[in-house]
Structure 1
Amino acid sequence: MTNPQLLWLRKNLFSTWYNSLLTIVCLVFLLWVARGILIWTTTQAQWAVIQVNLRLFLVGRFPQSLYWRVWIVLAIASSLAAVTWGAFSSRQHLTKRAVVLPTLIIGLLLVVLPLNFLSRLWLLLVAVFLSVGFWIGRGFSKVISPWLSIVWLLSFPVILWLIGGGFGLQPVSTNLWNGLLLTLLMAAVSIVMSFPIGVLLALGRTSNLPIIRWFCILYIEIIRGLPLIGILFLAQVMLPLFLPVEVRLDRVVRAITGLVLFSAAYMAENVRGGLQAISRGQIEAAKALGFNSLFVVILIVLPQALRAVVPAIVGQFIGLFKDTSLLSLVGLVELTGIARSILAQPQFIGRYAEVYLFIGLIYWLFCYSMSLASRRLERQLSN
């Protein structure tokens, strides 16, 4: 241990006798807790509940004969994510860790997960797509970066087509979209749809037209004053009443509608905070140069406003991803709902700790990944 580290320990943890005592007590407590967790994990926990029901956690009741569609969807999403990661990574931060870490994670999954031979081959193929996509993004970042958002948007219809079927593929009812598959689909579609609506609401709230401004204000304040679970129930029960009798919206579509309506109101307030950070002088200077109001907003105001509130926007996305857990209360069997179904199995009654620790780990992995991507994007935009 180097001298600076010793100085830091002495200054922050052992500066006085009572600080030293408190540090020792905290260390003993942490060791005691870690020992208890380790003993429970290795000798008392019944991880068979995860091993036996791993398929249910991930894809629920999706037909096993059509798993190849899910693997293709995973390959598409992984490739696009790797290309995006590579394109937005600065060259000076290029290290072996950027490729070694995902490879180690996938290797660990191959060893730990109870997969058959075909599934292991698919997972290896996904690992290849990750590596190739990352290096393509790094090598052609200037060419690829302007088109990434369009490619992501075009990938969503393809993914929904592969999951839902139709147009030449065997249809799969949304009642069979369960587990992590449904959670990710609901979160991704809701995030993509709520972002532009939130931006429009934020612009409308700052509009000079009284009708548009007051409509946006009323919508934002009313939605923000209601709990999400109430909006989800309204979307499931009340939304069909406003549609023609021959139009029957799927439960998944109604749930997405509730999530989008709720998230857009909060997104609007986040974006409005960024809009208020833009000085009036920039807008007046742009108009003096001959820009009309539309180009001022698109080219000058919005880019700066969105850049200023990237942490708040990503925080909203993370909150929306976690809010999908409430969908189990309106009859959709997403990740939390499938966990409740698994806990109802006679051989696994009472295994709450193992099941909820596992789904908690899944939520944390995805939320931390979004947070990590947010920090990388902030550094890229600040350069």
Structure 2
Amino acid sequence: MPTSNQPFVRTNFLDAEPAPRSESGPLAWIRKNLLATPKDIVLTVLAVALLAWALPHMINWLFIQAVWTGTDRTFCATAVQGGTQPDGWSGACWAFVDAKFDQFVFGRYPLDERWRPTIVGILFVLLLVPMLIPKAPFKGTNAILLFIVLPLLAFWLLYGGFGLEIVDTPLWGGLMVTLVLSFVGIAVSLPFGIILALGRRSNMPVIKMVCVAFIEIIRGIPLITVLFMASVMLPLFLPTGYTIDKLLRALIGVAIFASAYMAEVIRGGLQAIPKGQSEGADSLGLGYWQKMRLIILPQAIKLVIPGIVNTFIGMFKDTSLVSIIGMFDLLGIVRFNFTDANWASAVTPLTGLIFAGFVFWLFCFGMSRYSGFMERYLDTGHKR
């Protein structure tokens, strides 16, 4: 065989080989995440045992022995309680949720006028979805329609006037009120929180003092106190014969409260931006607002997306506190229906609370997942 002193150089790459079986697949994931150490093994065994004991009971109560249809409490009560179910029966009363579902969504809004909040909900979804898609076009037009045009149109449709029957806000309730409070709180708290955060970092003593005082006072007061003062104390300072709608007071209270917390979240993002970014913007001759709008704020907001969404989630859940001022949000209207004698049974309250909790969880989980998606989408400067 001929030999040569010239070294051999491969002209093509070897084909990629699959990962070892011990390093991929569900068994590898279980071994690495659940059985890596003796402590993990003990905790995994305890967790599996707890789930094995609890899940069958939960599934049995929620689905298997549950009552799904019915017209009154007799379908969800045992024979001893005057119902049709056998003694010892235990299961959720989803018939109660089914019978009251429209009221849970719309509150005491008139039946023949519920097409109006339905249209508002459809328009909200149609405008919100493209706003949440990063690559969707016409973001500016979409934002104007969502945050300016839709609120005005929604107020006209929900309240009435100009050809529509007027529906006073005390008749509003259910999920509709929860979403209205949350949307207004989110739409107002973010820009106001940015302004407060910038004001707190301002070099002008008066503006800084006002912003610091506002933030610290509001953060030191429970939301229940803010709502109580907006509902009870505020009318005492108005001239005789003047009043402010109760829903508007709640909207103002929630927005003010959320703005103070949002300001601190934004301020944390501003402090995380290196000073060189600001100095570089100054060297380009950018003014203060140009520097903030084009350089500083986009980076700061991207860094604090988890904190922003966490504030939104907390505010969404805190809307249930408006029941303290006599408003029936989702949780309030569910609890109000517990007093209906036609559905008074041992399992009705728990079933209603589970339904309300699931709805709150569904919205909060959705916001959390979208937050994670946006973090990954915007994480362009820290990828390895």
TM-score (norm 2): 0.81
User: Of 27, 30, 36, which aligns to 2:51?
Assistant: 30
User: Of 20, 45, 69, which aligns to 2:92?
Assistant: 45
User: Of 251, 263, 273, which aligns to 1:278?
Assistant: 273
TM-fit CA distance, 1:70: 1.9
TM-fit CA distance, 1:22: 5.2
1:184-263 map, 5 Å: 184-263=179-258
Say how many residue pairs are matched.
Answer: 329
Say if 1:248 and 1:279 are closer, same or farther in 2 by CA, change over 3 A: same
1:287-302 map, 5 Å: 287-302=282-297
Q: Tell me which residue corresponds to 1:381.
A: 378
User: Does 2:83 match 1:88?
Assistant: no
1:110-149 map, 5 Å: 141=136, 143-149=137-143
SS in structure 2 opposite 1:339? helix
User: Does 2:5 match 1:8?
Assistant: no
TM-fit CA distance, 1:66: 1.0
TM-fit CA distance, 1:320: 0.6
Distance 2:46 2:297 in 1: 51
1:88 partner letter:
P
Q: Tell me which residue corresponds to 2:144.
A: 150
TM-fit CA distance, 1:29: 2.2
Distance 1:370 1:19 in 2: 31
Say if 1:23 and 1:297 are closer, same or farther in 2 by CA, change over 3 A: closer
Q: Tell me which residue corresponds to 1:58.
A: 105
For residues 307-349 of structure 1, give each alpha carbon's deviation from its aligned partner in whole angstroms, at most 9, with x where no partner exists: 2111111111111110000011111011111011111111333
Contact 2:109 2:171 in 1 (8 A): yes
SS in structure 2 opposite 1:215? helix
User: Of 73, 78, 98, which aligns to 2:125?
Assistant: 78
Say which one has the larger Rg: 2
Contact 2:131 2:143 in 1 (8 A): no
Distance 1:25 1:264 in 2: 43
TM-fit CA distance, 1:81: 2.5
2:100 partner letter:
N
SS in structure 2 opposite 1:53? helix
Q: Which has the higher helix share?
A: 1
SS in structure 2 opposite 1:238? helix
TM-fit CA distance, 1:167: 2.4
For residues 112-150 of structure 1, give each alpha carbon's deviation from its aligned partner in whole angstroms, at most 9, with x where no partner exists: xxxxxxxxxxxxxxxxxxxxxxxxxxxxx2x32233322
SS in structure 2 opposite 1:255? helix
**Larger deviation, residues 370-379 vs 313-322:** 370-379
Say if 1:88 and 1:236 are closer, same or farther in 2 by CA, change over 3 A: same
Distance 2:30 2:329 in 1: 46
Distance 1:245 1:68 in 2: 37
SS in structure 1 opposite 2:170? helix
Structure 1: 5+ residue stretches without partners: 90-140
Say if 1:14 and 1:272 are closer, same or farther in 2 by CA, change over 3 A: closer
TM-fit CA distance, 1:63: 0.9
Distance 2:234 2:162 in 1: 28
1:285-364 map, 5 Å: 285-349=280-344, 350=346, 351-364=348-361
Say if 1:15 and 1:297 are closer, same or farther in 2 by CA, change over 3 A: closer
Distance 2:129 2:205 in 1: 45
- RMSD of the TM alignment (CA)? 1.9
Distance 1:288 1:16 in 2: 55
TM-fit CA distance, 1:244: 3.2
Say if 1:296 and 1:332 are closer, same or farther in 2 by CA, change over 3 A: same
Distance 1:20 1:186 in 2: 46
2:184 partner letter:
V
Q: Tell me which residue corresponds to 2:6.
A: none
Contact 2:128 2:146 in 1 (8 A): no
TM-fit CA distance, 1:84: 2.5
Distance 2:366 2:284 in 1: 42
Contact 2:200 2:212 in 1 (8 A): yes
Structure 2: 5+ residue stretches without partners: 1-20, 66-90
Distance 1:278 1:189 in 2: 29
Distance 1:274 1:11 in 2: 35
TM-fit CA distance, 1:68: 1.5
Q: Tell me which residue corresponds to 2:264.
A: 269
Distance 2:323 2:44 in 1: 43
SS in structure 1 opposite 2:157? helix
TM-fit CA distance, 1:373: 2.0
TM-fit CA distance, 1:25: 4.1
TM-fit CA distance, 1:83: 2.1
Q: Tell me which residue corresponds to 2:16.
A: none
Say if 1:162 and 1:307 are closer, same or farther in 2 by CA, change over 3 A: same
Distance 2:177 2:362 in 1: 17
Q: Tell me which residue corresponds to 1:100.
A: none
